Amino acid sequence: MKKTLVRNGTIVTATDTFQADLLIEGEKVTAISQRMSGTADKEVDASGCYVFPGGIDAHTHLDLPFMGTFSSDDFETGTLAALHGGTTTIIDFAFQSQGRTLKEGLTEWHQKAKGKAACDYSFHLAVVDFNQKTRMEIRDLIEQEGITSFKTFMAYKGALMIDDRQMIGLMDEVKKWGGIVTVHAENGDLADSLIQMNREKGNKAPRFHALSRPEIVEAEATGRAIDIAYAGNHPLYVVHMTCEGALNRVKEASKRNQRVLVETCIQYLLLDDTYYDRPGFEGAKWVMSPPLRKPKDQEALWRSMGQGMVHVVATDHCPFCMNQKEMGKEDFSKIPNGAPGIENRMELLYSEGVEKGRISLNKFVEVNCSNPAKIFGLYPKKGTIALGSDADLVIFDPRVEHTLSKETQHMNCDYSSYEGWKVKGKVQTVLLRGTVAIENGKSCVQKGFGQFLKRKKFEGF
């Protein structure tokens, strides 16, 4: 069995920071010691570096058909880019189609990923047509397929949105068999009415995307989803939270001892709605739903992370090249929603979070690695550094300064959301299940190296 030694690094988990060597045998961590003697087939020198668990991005959209086109990263390019950024596992979204079964949607996404994914992966299942036939599939998906999380949309009426009655039914069934429902919380009817109003007034520029989805659109839907979950005593995970108004609904729920699991995304921590005012059509690069918010919302998200009310930082990686964005050049409502970020999350969160004193090293690991693993049934196989865990490791040099650019990124997109952003801290080496996957900026694994992960039932958090 192949042995790998990682020497001289500072190991960081969600709870501990200490200097030690790591022994990897095959795919697992088998020993952790301050001074490891002996030799191995390969040695990795981590002197001066942190050794983090491999990152888990719990929200990606690869090869997604959306708004008349497809996201520009497929499972090959997207997962290789993830590895370059220190993410060793993704949880993508498999989508049910209207009138079709959940299992058919899952099968379609397995076909997209199999033989292409370079990092490990699993799926959430997006439910867009909940009915009695759909209800009968839930148990098998959880117990046999290892799909334990199901997404609902409260927006995109006529395509993805389900109503409150369907959401109640889905929550009831998913809880019965040990899963968790996640929710895209935007009031679809309110957003649609504001979109229509702006179009009728001739407001077609990218900035009207954000103006058609103001804070109240997200805050109202967040509160409604929380209340529905509370009524049935259901667990709830809110995806890509962006704003203070939505966070206040979570805080209100805590007064009745309800725990709501909250995910935000790196862009909502760092970028604000002034990006929509860029000249010409450039603002379209950041058209996503929910949209970028204001600096006060960024501050609220950072503080809530420190308070333990924001549990996960993901990306909602859903890139479209500019020729795809130009489908909406004459009408903001036709701009494909989404932006690239799968490669940038961990370096940006370290640079802007840890280096600037907003979060601790351990909180960095918690929101990037251990919390998504715990919530979505991958812990302790993933998300930590411990005996018997998968040897998914990131050797991270906190001293290296570099600049993000489309010229150096590995994502299949012709722009960077963070062009020219100066970052301190860089991913140097990445191991996936004991194999060096990235070394000094070079890929050492090929497409198809990633494995599908069946996940455990939701056990509370």
The full DSSP string for 217-254 is: HHHHHHHHHHHHHHHHT--EEE-S---HHHHHHHHHHH
pLDDT at 343: 98
Name the packing angle between helices 215-232 and 188-200 (round to 10°). 160
Confidence of residue 39 (pLDDT cuts 50, 70, 90): confident
pLDDT at 133: 94
Confidence of residue 121 (pLDDT cuts 50, 70, 90): very high
Region 438-451: what's the mean pLDDT?
96
pLDDT at 277: 96
pLDDT at 386: 98
pLDDT at 37: 83
Q: Which two tokens stand for residue 80?
A: 């290789």
pLDDT at 101: 97
pLDDT at 120 over 90: yes
Query: What does the pLDDT look like over 43-95, one tens digit per residue?
Result: 999 999 999 999 999 999 999 999 999 999 999 999 999 999 999 999 999 99
Query: What does the pLDDT look like over 260-281, one tens digit per residue?
Result: 999 999 999 999 999 999 999 9
Rounded Cα distance, 386 and 382, in Å = 10
Q: What does the DSSP 8-state code read for residue 171?
A: H
Region 441-447: what's the mean pLDDT?
96
pLDDT at 36: 84
Rounded Cα distance, 417 and 290, in Å = 16
Place of tokens 């979070």: 353
pLDDT at 326: 97
Higher-scoring residue by pLDDT: 108, 461: 108
Do strands 120-126 and 149-153 pair parallel, antiparallel, or not at all (unpaired)? parallel
Region 221-243: what's the mean pLDDT?
98
Residue type, 95: F
Rounded Cα distance, 336 and 72, in Å = 11
CA dist list (Å): 269 to 23, 133, 363, 366, 396: 36, 40, 15, 16, 21
What is the architecture, at CATH level 2, of domain 3-52+384-443? Roll (2.30)
Query: What does the pLDDT look like over 406-419, one tens digit per residue?
Result: 999 999 999 999 99
Query: What does the pLDDT look like over 87-116, one tens digit per residue?
Result: 999 999 999 999 999 999 999 999 999 999
Rounded Cα distance, 325 and 122, in Å = 28
CA dist list (Å): 322 to 216, 218, 336, 407, 414: 29, 27, 10, 15, 7
For the chain, give every domain's residue range.
Answer: 3-52+384-443, 55-375
Q: What does the DSSP 8-state code read for residue 165?
A: H
pLDDT at 1 over 90: no
Between 3.40.50.1370, 3.50.30.10, 1.10.3470.10, 3.20.20.140, what CATH number should domain 55-375 receive?
Answer: 3.20.20.140
Rounded Cα distance, 261 and 210, in Å = 25
pLDDT at 166 over 90: yes
pLDDT at 360: 98
pLDDT at 136: 97
Region 119-133: what's the mean pLDDT?
97
